[in-house]
Structure 1
């Protein structure tokens, strides 16, 4: 994909007003990347995960995961659309809880973004951009949308609850409950060469802190190929404008 292709893809991304009505402080920082090498060094990802595990341990020395300010904000956001955060945890909280026993080792791209997510305590998702059907859209579901997932090795089609916050493309839901469970259809693989990363932010996380997390992610991504191209865009409530 060319730089123009990445820009066009991001230009089509949107967050529905109903989501901003739920959380006016929400910001989505989208990063579209192409030119990733399918055979990047795994050693770098392992070092990042080990550092992230240490960062999580340090962050939790003084309290519980749910008491971390950004985690607490996301738990409130989940309650606002009817989800129970103790049963369906946002992706950052889920990783922080796993860090003490060891973060998962999946593939180089997933490992890198998981490490950044834990270090910055920011929900962060990564998906194969080539598998998208149209641009990403965040909305509150009406319940008819389809979410194709896998249960016991079999493909199963689920539907989000009415009012649930979901990411979608033209083919269906790509991530349920804002940043809880991603669809296998757009999952990253060892052969992924173009990807979309979504960083989710609520107050009290600042724009500077969000940018810091994005900058760290990009600094690792550009090392994963000889000609990596990166474009980014921030989506925020209309009062603040969309960058």
Structure 2
């Protein structure tokens, strides 16, 4: 049995955070969709790009509330210079009239939900995870090879990160994924996490993970193994038998 565990030192920094977790199997990551389904997903993403503009009342990206709250969150732990929450990168494209484009069905669905709800989402290949997945403060120096890099970029001391027994999975909480657990065309079992640090948006977090689950089931055949929302009172859950 594999678990997802939010460490006590994570809650010391973010006592009000909630993390929606979805663990799925039999994902057809490299599926070739029929024309109707492909068109529907493309429109889902296009619509999300358009609707995301409501989260951007200011032309200065950092002044928008959904971005500012994550800038504030990142100020509470050591980060690599320039590291930003993944949702900021998506919204920045919308702000600059460079909408997030089609990549692959599961990526498009995930990006659409992330944009629709302005919440960060990350996915990992669960079969490549060693032991349990944790989120918490790092000692510093743990193994981490980022996607798109050929050299190690270990986390800083006390940096918040997702990690397992083999090293870091995602640096700076929800900034950059590593190659070891990267989702590829061969991935069939996935761990998906969606974070919220705004108590007034907890209901949107629940809506977002439920909608993501349904879309992945419908379009890529994903079967839910476990789903839950983690908080300080419920800091762990099973993610794989």
- From the superposition, tell whether residues 211 and 168 of structure 1 become closer, same or farther in structure 2 (CA, over 3 Å): same
CA distance in 1, matches of 2:200, 2:169: 25
Matches within 5 A, 1:191-206: 191-206=186-201
* 1:59-94 deviation digits (Å, cap 9, x = unpaired): 324564333333222111101113378x21100111
How much has 1:25 moved relative to structure 2?
0.8
Which of the numbers 29, 35, 42 marks the counterpart of 2:26? 35
Give TM-score scaled by structure 1 length.
0.85
Match of 2:75 in 1: 79
Equivalent residues in 2 for 1:8-19, closer than 5 Å? 8-9=1-2, 12-19=3-10
The one-character-per-residue Cα deviations of 1:37-77 (angstroms, maximum 9, x if unpaired) are 24152434322221111012233245643333332221111
Deviation at 1:213, TM superposition (A): 0.7
Deviation at 1:225, TM superposition (A): 4.1
Shift, 1:156, TM fit: 1.2
Deviation at 1:241, TM superposition (A): 6.3
Tell me the distance in 2 between the aligned counterparts of 1:147 and 1:173: 5
What count of residue pairs does the alignment treat as equivalent? Answer: 230
Q: Is the 8 A contact 1:91 1:124 kept in 2?
A: yes
Q: Cα RMSD between the aligned structures?
A: 2.3
Assess, with a 3 A threshold, how the Cα gap between structure 1 residues 182 and 205 changes in structure 2: closer, same or farther. Answer: farther
Cα distance, 1:134 vs. partner? Answer: 1.8
Contact 1:110 1:188 (8 Å CA) reproduced: no
Partner of 1:122: 119
Instruction: Give unpaired runs (5+ residues) of structure 1.
Output: 1-7
What's the CA shift for 1:181?
A: 0.3
Aligned to 2:219: 224
| Structure 1 Cα separation of the partners of residues 156 and 210 of structure 2 | 34
Match in the other structure for 1:5:
none
- The change in CA–CA distance for 1:195 and 1:48 in structure 2 (over 3 A counts) is same
Q: Hey, what does 1:101 align to over in structure 2?
A: 98
- Unaligned residue ranges in structure 2 (runs of 5+): none
Identify if the C-alpha distance between structure 1 residues 104 and 169 changes in structure 2 by more than 3 Å, giving closer, same or farther.
farther
TM-score (norm 2): 0.86
Q: 2: CA distance between counterparts of 1:227 and 1:161?
A: 35
Aligned residue in 2 for 1:56: 52
